Structure 1
Amino acid sequence: MRHHPGMTAPGTVEEYLAALPAEARAVLEQVRAAVLRGMPGATETVRYGMPAAVLGTRYGLHYAAWKKHAALYPVPVFDGDLEAEVAPLRSGKDAVHLRYGRPVPGDLVERIASAVAALRRDDR
């Protein structure tokens, strides 16, 4: 769903969002806001054809719209209570899927972004 044949790859997050169907756009706008709340000071870019929130030179979190869900990548395995909340939403090793038609868990997405930001800081 991300790119239709002949559609040029989005150059900005706004272009990416504008190309989405209404339901996917509404969900991704909430995901975007939560990611940015959890990563103060992050800059936004499009990488691998999907929006990303970046901290310094390190990539923080990518998010994308698919046919039936939005997704966050890469989401590392966390410790304790946060992982207990994230685990049911995981798909594969490092993706979190948020199905359309369900409320966006904005607080959880914000906490994921904050935890990823903390890990990225530790990597520097």
Structure 2
Amino acid sequence: MPGVLIDTDIAIDYLRGDQGVRPLLHRFWREGNAVLSAVSIFELTAGMRENERGATLDFIGACAVAEVTPDIAVRGGELYRQYRGQGVTLAAMDCLIAATAQVRGYQVATRNVRHYPEPGLLLALDGLRQ
């Protein structure tokens, strides 16, 4: 399996003790395909509680990191513009995460399926979708 881009919501669920996502993330780590976008690192650290700092940094350190490169930034802007033209407003951060997955050939592990309308982008998370 190629890399799996762990969306911020799944990372937060793991860090807050959600037993439903733990086996999934442990499998990704075991298989060596757990990836975090630099965007998710920003979101995680911006929203963490002070007492979560150590666990959050450990979580980040356990994943490969996908940086936002110029080609990812361009693709993210294109996605934002494309969906805005269809009357759908996506968060810029989600567009960058989606672009990272597209450019790098990853699938996105998320419960926030409405944030990622691009076909073929989402990893099937049986029992985890909202």
User: Normalized per residue, which structure has more helix?
Assistant: 2
TM-score, with length taken from structure 1: 0.27
TM-score, with length taken from structure 2: 0.26
User: Normalized per residue, which structure has more strand?
Assistant: 1
